[in-house]
């Protein structure tokens, strides 16, 4: 056994013993890895002759596919041999635009083995966004589902100028498109992979610092940028594994579409680092909480990770009517509102534990298993990380004072932290003084608990009071009729900056003047005057990123356009219009 694998397994096995938070923080030491390829050195090691389920795939057509560890080892070796044959070189970037399927997972492993760099992209991206990513990341190869072929035909010039080959995988039922007729780039049928050997030997050395898996950021406040991660990245997710609480034999379900970092986090590295089973449910049409919950029950899912938007939809259903096998439930991607945590506990008896991380990292802060939680806190520093709350001058703030979350990357950089952005100016702004600056504002109490405030460019001032959109949203979310809320700054009739709340109601409620009055009464009763929204507007849905985060910059731009026209939106209501009705309210 090579030294690097031995060191990785030692730390992994320590994590799997579920040590207490204090012990884990004290004894957690990042391994020093020089030559390491997670798929070749680790996955193949645990997968050889291992017939335990690595993946369980189900869909709405009644299909159930179980893929063992050894099956995926062999299939990914075939993919790696195929990639070598079609000309992939070490460090070539490969875009993957596919829905969840067994094919997807064997392809991702195969690209890692072949030395390629995975660039995932959401299938919902329009052609122009795919084109921009191909150009920005200098993509050489692309794996697509059949439906994506139509999008590529729209951006033919970009495809012809950049791509060496398009591999059409077809959909999960096995339907493939015919091969192209000698056109450039080569248009290949994934079925060709079947002709390649099940054994693979690389002709190169993979260094732990080589680029492996890179993502375009969500772009909630700016244009997406490419975040690059090295072959250390899967090792970094041992912090995420400790937070989730997966163990060998678990059935782990991460509700996430491919195309963003959370899929790599919790549908690949967390469960397979634990040698558990990845559960995948591919559904047609709109998201159905009922269908999802029935699958969690039927297939005896034991550990579950879902974003805030999904938990909100789950809570509309009667969770008490299900007989779950769940042991651990967690959420990351957006900060959890305390009301959501409370309701989940009442409905399931389980503690919904929050985790904080970014596309640029693994879990950095979390409410860890067995640890006391505090209302409104996203938890404590993850093992393997050293975090500080910093001023603009990089001075460490006192307990209770707002500042930017900084990751200490000197002298030891957490292995899950990004290598770099594809933007020199961005790198200069986030790597300073031995820190990686997260761009998120928070404060820490004397017990080491962090409290999220918002993105540094989301927080705003109103009459010299600092307004945290997340804090305001959390308080409004306690109203029984509200499904989602997004808070941004607007201006009142005096041109003074005030908070505005965009609101999506639950299905049984209708936007109206009466509903607006009820919410204004609730706000007056439950919120401090300086931070309560003076304007609310009902929307049918929010603009969101691939990772289901509300795009606040779009809400701000929309509101600014309405203000410029000096009109009122159809379902917009101002507090001043209800002054008579609100008399006597707190």
Domain ranges of the chain: 59-206, 465-578
Per-residue confidence (pLDDT) for residue 312, from 0 to 100: 87
Q: Are 218 and 546 contacting, i.e. CB atoms less than 8 angstroms apart?
A: yes
Q: What is the pLDDT of residues 535-574, one digit of tens each?
A: 999 999 988 766 567 887 888 888 888 888 888 888 999 9
* Domain topology for 59-206: Rossmann fold (3.40.50)
Q: What is the mean pLDDT of residues 478-495?
A: 87
Token pair 């056994």: residue: 1
Higher per-residue confidence, 133 vs 177: 133
Q: Are 483 and 506 in contact (CB under 8 A)?
A: yes
- When pLDDT is averaged across residues 235-241 and rounded to a whole number, the result is 98
Distance of CA 556 to the CA centre of its chain: 23
What pLDDT score does 177 carry? 41
Instruction: Report the topology of domain 465-578.
Output: GMP Synthetase; Chain A, domain 3 (3.30.300)
What is the distance in angstroms between the CA of the first residue and the CA of the last residue of the chain? 69
Query: Taking a C-beta distance cutoff of 8 angstroms, is the pair 340, 308 a contact?
Result: yes
- Predicted local confidence at residue 584, as pLDDT: 66
Q: What is the CA radius of gyration of the chain?
A: 24
What was the pLDDT predicted at 548?
66
> For 161-207, what is each residue's pLDDT tens digit?
999 999 999 754 443 344 355 556 899 999 999 999 999 999 999 99
**Does residue 418 contact residue 227 with C-beta atoms inside 8 Å?**
yes
DSSP classification of residue 328: E
Give pLDDT, residue 1. 82
pLDDT value of position 529: 84
Domains 59-206 and 465-578 share a fold: no
For the chain, the helix, strand and coil percentages under 3-state DSSP, each to the nearest 5:
35, 25, 40
The reported pTM is 0.83
Of 111-120, 160-169, 410-419, 539-548, the least confident: 539-548
Question: Kindly report the CA angle at 411 between 445 and 3, in degrees rounded to 5?
Answer: 115
């Amino acid at each position: 056994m090579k030294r690097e694998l031995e060191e990785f397994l030692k730390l992994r096995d320590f994590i799997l013993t579920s040590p207490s938070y204090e012990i884990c923080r004290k004894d957690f030491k990042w391994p020093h890895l020089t030559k390491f390829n997670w798929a070749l050195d680790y996955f193949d090691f645990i997968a050889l002759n291992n017939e335990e389920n690595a993946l369980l795939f189900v869909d709405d057509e009644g299909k159930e596919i179980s893929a063992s560890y050894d099956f995926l080892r062999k299939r990914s070796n075939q993919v790696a041999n195929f990639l070598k044959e079609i000309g992939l070189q070490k460090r070539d970037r490969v875009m993957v635009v596919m829905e969840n399927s067994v094919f997807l997972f064997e392809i991702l492993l195969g690209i890692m083995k072949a030395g390629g760099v995975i660039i995932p992209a959401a299938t919902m991206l329009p052609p122009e966004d795919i084109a921009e990513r191909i150009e920005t990341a200098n993509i050489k190869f692309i794996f697509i589902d059949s439906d994506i072929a139509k999008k590529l035909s729209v951006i033919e010039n970009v495809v012809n100028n950049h791509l060496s080959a398009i591999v059409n995988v077809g959909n999960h039922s096995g339907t493939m498109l015919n091969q192209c007729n000698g056109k450039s780039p080569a248009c290949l049928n994934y079925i060709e992979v079947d002709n390649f050997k099940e054994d693979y030997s690389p002709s190169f050395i993979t260094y732990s610092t080589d680029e492996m898996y890179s993502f375009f950021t969500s772009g909630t406040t700016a244009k997406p940028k490419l975040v690059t991660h090295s072959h250390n990245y899967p090792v970094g997710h041992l912090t995420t594994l400790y937070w989730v609480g997966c163990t060998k034999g678990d059935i782990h379900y991460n509700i996430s579409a491919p195309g963003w970092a959370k899929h790599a986090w919790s549908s690949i590295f967390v469960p397979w680092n634990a040698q558990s089973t990845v559960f995948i449910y591919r559904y047609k049409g709109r998201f159905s909480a009922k269908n999802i919950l029935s699958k969690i029950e039927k297939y005896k899912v034991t550990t579950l990770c879902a974003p805030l938007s999904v938990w909100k939809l789950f809570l509309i259903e009667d969770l008490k009517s299900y007989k779950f096998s769940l042991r651990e439930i967690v959420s990351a991607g957006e900060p959890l509102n305390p009301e959501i945590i409370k309701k989940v506990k009442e409905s399931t008896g389980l503690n919904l534990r929050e985790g904080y991380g970014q596309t640029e990292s693994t879990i950095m802060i979390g409410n860890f298993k067995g640890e006391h939680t505090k209302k409104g806190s996203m938890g404590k520093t993850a093992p393997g990380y050293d975090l500080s709350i910093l001023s603009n001058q990089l001075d460490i703030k006192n307990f209770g004072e707002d500042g930017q979350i900084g990751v200490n990357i000197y002298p030891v950089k957490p292995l899950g932290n990004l290598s770099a952005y594809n933007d020199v100016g961005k790198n200069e702004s986030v790597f300073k003084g031995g820190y990686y600056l997260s761009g998120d504002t928070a404060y820490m109490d004397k017990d080491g608990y962090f409290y999220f405030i918002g993105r540094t460019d989301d927080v705003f001032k109103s009459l010299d009071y600092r307004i945290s959109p997340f804090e305001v949203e959390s308080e409004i979310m306690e109203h029984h009729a509200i499904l989602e809320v997004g808070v941004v700054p607007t201006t009142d009739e005096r041109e003074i900056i005030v908070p505005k709340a965009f609101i999506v109601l639950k299905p049984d409620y209708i936007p109206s003047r009466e509903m607006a009055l009820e919410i204004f009464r609730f706000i007056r009763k439950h919120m401090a005057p300086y931070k309560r929204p003076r304007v609310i507007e009902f929307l049918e849905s929010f603009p969101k990123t691939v990772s289901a985060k509300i795009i606040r910059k779009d809400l701000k731009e929309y509101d600014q356009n309405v203000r410029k026209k000096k009109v009122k939106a159809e379902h917009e209501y101002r507090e001043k219009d209800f002054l008579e009705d609100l008399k006597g309210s707190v």
